Amino acid sequence: MFDILVKDGRIIDGTGRPSYKANIGIQGDTLTILRGDSTSLASGQVIDASGCIVAPGFIDMHSHSDLALLTEPRHIAKISQGVTTEALGMDGLSYAPISQEKLGGLIQYLVAVNGHAPPGIQWSSVKEFLDLFDNRTSCNVVYFVPHAALRIEAMGWEARPANPNELKKMQQLVEQGMKDGAFGFSTGLTYFPGTYSDTNELIEIARKVRPYGGIYITHSRYYLGDQLLDPFKEAISIGEKAGVPIQLSHFHNPVDGMGKQMVELINHGQNNGIDVSFDQYPYPAASTLLLSLVPAWAHAGGPNALLSRIKTRDVREQIKDNITPQWGGGGDFQDYILSRIASGKNKEWEGRSISDLANSKRKSIVDTICDLLIEENLDVAFVARTGNIENISTILQHPSQMFGSDGLLTGGKPNPRSYGTFPYALGQLVREQNILSLEDAVKKMSSIPAKRLGLKDRGAIEDGMKADIVVFNPDTVRAMSTFENPKQLPVGINHVLVNGRIVIYKGEHTGDLPGRSLRKN
C-alpha cells in the first residue's frame, strides 16, 4: 500500500526526455513509477493529476531566504512556485560560521536582504545553522559557506586582503563548514567585506572545499577590468586554479549584445576542460541593498562605522561622484525603484524611484541616499529596472543554464522574480514565447541543478528517488507577479510535495513543514 498515489498525470521526469503517461506511488519519502493499470492499487490519499504535468520539485539555485525560512516557515512565495529545494548562503552573504558576538553586526548589515532572525534562536557553526531548518520549513535547503562570515570572524571588517594567519583561519572555518554539510564556498565580490579580498585569498579558500566535492559559487567582481567579461574571467580562473567547479551567479549583463559574448565565454571554458556553469533569473531587473551604492572604503569597520562616516559632509563630498548607477540607468536613478524601506516614516516611497525621492526632497542623490540609510539604520533595498531581455533570452538557452530567483523576500515592492521566476519560465517563456521546450525548462529547474550540487536522489522522477514533486497545468501555469504588484502568487501550480508529504494541495498550503537541510557529506 502506498501512502500517496499521484494518478493520471503526464510525467516530465527532469532528464529532458519526452513526457509520458504513468502514475506515481509514494511510500514514506520515496517514489515509484507505476506503469500500466493502477486502479487496484491501495493508497492512503489520491492526487488527481489528470490534464497536468507531474515534474520533479524545482531547485532554486540562488535564493536569499536564509532568515525568511525561519521567520515565515510556510514560505508561500517559493513553495507556491513549486520550489522544493533552495540554495542558501548566496553572494557570500549569510550567517554561519560566525561567533555570537559578531553575528549581530552581520544581521544588521544584511537586514534589507534577509530581515531579522526570529527571537530566541542561536547558532554559530554551519551545523547549528542547518539544524534550524530540519522539519521546520516548507522546503529543503542546501548551504554554501559565505565569504562575509568567514572574513568577519577571522579579521572583522578590515578593508584589506587577509594576512597569512587570517587566511589560515578562514580556511579552517570553510573546511569545518564543509564537514558540517555545506556544498561549497560562496562569494559576493562587489559587497562588503568580500570586495576587499584579492584573487589569491579566494583561490586558497576555495581549495579547501575540493576534498569534499564542493563548488565555488560567485557573484563576480563587477567593477574589474572591462566590467563586462573580466569579472567572470577572474571567477573562472579562481575555480580553475583551486581545482573546483565554478558556478556563476545570476549570469547577465545589461549591455546590448553581451549575451552572445557571455555564452561564448562559457563555451570557451568548457571546451578547454573547465567545469563552469551558471544560474540566471528571467526578469530584466536587479535587486540589492541601498548601502551597496556607497563606495567600498566607506564601509571599512562595518555597519556602525559606515553610518558614522556618511553623516559627515566631508565624506559625502568624497563619495558623491562615485555614487552612480551600477547597471545602466542612463546616468540617473530613475530606474532604481525603492523596494524595501523599514520604517513608516519613509514607507510611502516604496515602489518609487531614488530620483523621485531626491527631487521631492530637493536633495542631491548623495544626500538622499545617505539620509535614507541613516534614518532607516541601513534597512533599505531597491530594484534596478535596467536589465536586457535580449541578453537574458540568449543566455538562458545555453545547456548549462539553470534557474535561480535571486529573490529578496523583504519589503513591500520586491522584484517580481521573488514570487514568479519558475512559473514565469513555464508559462511566459515556454508556452507563450516558445524560447524553451517544456522538457528543457523542467530539466533546467531540476536535474541540472541537482547534478551540479551532487544530489543523487533528487532532481528527477525515477524509481527510488525522493518524492519532491510538482503537479502543474501546462495550459494555465503563469506568474502573476509584476513590478507594480509583485506579491502575487502564481496560478496553475496545483500540488507540491516535499519529502513525500503534501505541502500545497489544490493550490493551498496544508501547513505541513517537511523541509530538511540536505547535507553534502
Q: 139 — alpha (psi -120 to 50), left (phi > 0) or beta?
A: beta
The string of DSSP letters for 99-145 reads -HHHHHHHHHHTHHHH-PPPTT----SHHHHHHTTTTTSSSEEEE-E
Please state, in angstroms and as integers, the Cα–Cα distance from residue 133 to each residue in 62, 130, 461, 517, following that order: 17, 6, 25, 6
Neighbouring residues of 244: CB distance < 8 A, sequence distance ≥ 6: 184, 185, 206, 207, 209, 210, 214, 215, 216, 275
SS3 363: coil
Is residue 95 helix, strand or coil? coil
Quote the pLDDT of residue 328. 54
Residues 6+ apart with CB under 8 A from 143: 87, 88, 89, 94, 96, 126, 129, 130, 181, 182, 183, 517
Q: In what order do the strands lie in the sheet with 276-280?
A: 145-146, 184-188, 215-219, 246-248, 276-280, 401-403
pLDDT the model gives residue 329: 47
For the chain, give the number of residues.
521
CA angle 504, 30, 37 (to 5 degrees): 90
Q: ω into residue 474 within 30 of 0, thus cis?
A: no
For the chain, what are the domain ranges?
58-286+386-458, 301-384
- pTM of the complete model: 0.97
Instruction: Determine the topology of domain 58-286+386-458 in CATH.
Output: TIM Barrel (3.20.20)
Residue 405 CA: distances (Å) to CA of 45, 114, 115, 509:
32, 14, 18, 21
Tens-of-pLDDT digits for all 521 residues of the chain?
A: 899 999 999 999 999 999 999 999 999 999 999 987 777 777 899 999 999 999 999 999 999 999 999 999 999 999 999 999 999 999 999 999 999 999 999 999 999 999 999 999 999 999 999 999 999 999 999 999 999 999 999 999 999 999 999 999 999 999 999 999 999 999 999 999 999 999 999 999 999 999 999 999 999 999 999 999 999 999 999 999 999 999 999 999 999 999 999 999 999 999 999 999 999 999 999 999 999 999 999 999 999 999 999 999 999 999 998 887 766 545 579 999 999 999 999 999 999 999 999 999 999 999 999 999 999 999 999 999 999 999 999 999 999 999 999 999 999 999 999 999 999 999 999 999 999 999 999 999 999 999 999 999 999 999 999 999 999 999 999 999 999 999 999 999 999 999 999 999 999 999 999 999 999 97
The greatest distance separating any two alpha carbons of the chain, rounded to the nearest whole angstrom, comes to 79
Do strands 140-143 and 493-498 pair parallel, antiparallel, or not at all (unpaired)?
unpaired
pLDDT of residue 325: 72
pLDDT of residue 40: 74
pLDDT for res 331: 56
Please give the grid coordinates belonging to residue 381: 533595498
Residue reference for cell 506579491: 487
**Nearest of 283, 280, 277 to residue 448 by alpha carbon:** 277
Residue 29 in contact with residue 22, Cβ under 8 Å? no
